[in-house]
């Protein structure tokens, strides 16, 4: 993505996940908003981080080109939403899914002792985000400097009654991951 698209992706993350009110946007119960409403709100809202004018083609290009597929657009209804990561109330309408035996979580190294003591919690988000492979977890963890990758015994969690969901872009979600299901994954990349 070019710098304009990166800036737009960050702005879409902000307004579709955390602060729709910052530009006067109202998400429906499942996080969807008409694309035309989003474009109008972006045009009328504060220019902070916008990188210039935003067109329908710009938004659809960012949706299609996002390496993590953070957003989804339904052409039949012309609605758009963030796939996960919300801190505002939304029901993503995901069905529970059986996870693979092992999932991964990348996190800054500075968080390791606390996580191993208390587990992973969702903090201000709706769910804990888990990766299906180590490589993806490394990319997530590396966003904030020195990182570690944790191995999640998802099979044992599921057997213990924990629920998992899988988003359309392959991110696994859980309400929390208790410390007993976590281990430092020090396998080579």
Residues 6 or more apart whose Cβ sits within 8 Å of residue 21: none
pLDDT of residue 126: 80
Residues in a beta bridge with 120: 177
Residues 74 and 9 in one domain: yes
Q: What percent of the chain has pLDDT above 90? A: 67
Average pLDDT over residues 137-159: 93
Residues in a beta bridge with 129: 173
Tens-digit pLDDT profile for residues 19-61: 999 999 999 999 999 999 999 999 886 644 444 578 999 999 9
Tens-digit pLDDT profile for residues 97-110: 999 999 999 999 99
Provide the Cα torsion 50, 54, 56, 62; round to 10°. -40
Reported confidence tier of residue 189, pLDDT bands at 50, 70, 90: very low
- Closest residue by Cα to residue 174 from 165, 186, 182: 165
Q: What are the residue ranges of helices labelled H in the chain?
A: 3-13, 35-44, 56-65, 112-118, 134-142, 154-159
Q: What's the start-to-end Cα distance of the chain, in Å?
A: 25
Q: Would you say 178 and 91 are in contact if contact means Cβ atoms under 8 Å apart?
A: no
Residues 60 and 122 in one domain: no
pLDDT of residue 90: 86
**Structural domain boundaries, residue 115:** 102-184
Higher pLDDT, 153 or 4: 153
What CATH number has the domain bearing residue 161?
3.20.170.30
Answer whether residue 171 shows pLDDT above 50: yes
What CA–CA distance (Å, rounded) separates 84 from 66? 14
The domain total for the chain is 2
Establish if 48 belongs to a structural domain: yes
What CATH number has the domain bearing residue 77?
1.10.10.970
Average pLDDT over residues 146-170: 95
* pTM metric for this prediction: 0.75
Highest average pLDDT, of 19-23, 110-114, 133-137, 153-157, comes from: 153-157
Q: How far is CA 181 from each of CA 99, 105, 147, 162, rounded to the nearest angstrom?
A: 14, 12, 19, 11
């Amino acid at each position: 993505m070019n710098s304009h698209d990166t800036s737009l992706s960050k702005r879409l993350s902000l307004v579709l996940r955390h602060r729709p009110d910052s530009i006067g946007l109202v998400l429906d119960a499942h996080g969807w908003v008409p694309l035309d409403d989003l474009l109008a709100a972006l045009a009328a809202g504060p220019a902070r981080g916008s990188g210039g004018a935003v067109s329908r083609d710009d938004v659809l290009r960012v949706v299609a080109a996002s390496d993590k597929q953070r957003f989804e657009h339904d052409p039949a209804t012309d609605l758009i939403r963030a796939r996960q990561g919300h801190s505002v109330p939304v029901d993503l309408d995901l069905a529970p899914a059986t996870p693979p035996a092992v999932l991964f979580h990348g996190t800054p190294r500075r968080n390791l002792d606390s996580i191993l003591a208390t587990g992973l919690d969702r903090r201000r988000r709706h769910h804990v985000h888990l990766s299906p492979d180590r490589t993806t977890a490394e990319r997530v963890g590396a966003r904030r400097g020195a990182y570690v990758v944790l191995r999640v015994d998802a099979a044992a969690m599921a057997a213990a009654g924990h629920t998992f969901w899988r988003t359309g872009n392959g991110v696994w979600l859980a309400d929390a991951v208790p410390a007993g299901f976590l281990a430092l994954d020090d396998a080579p990349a």
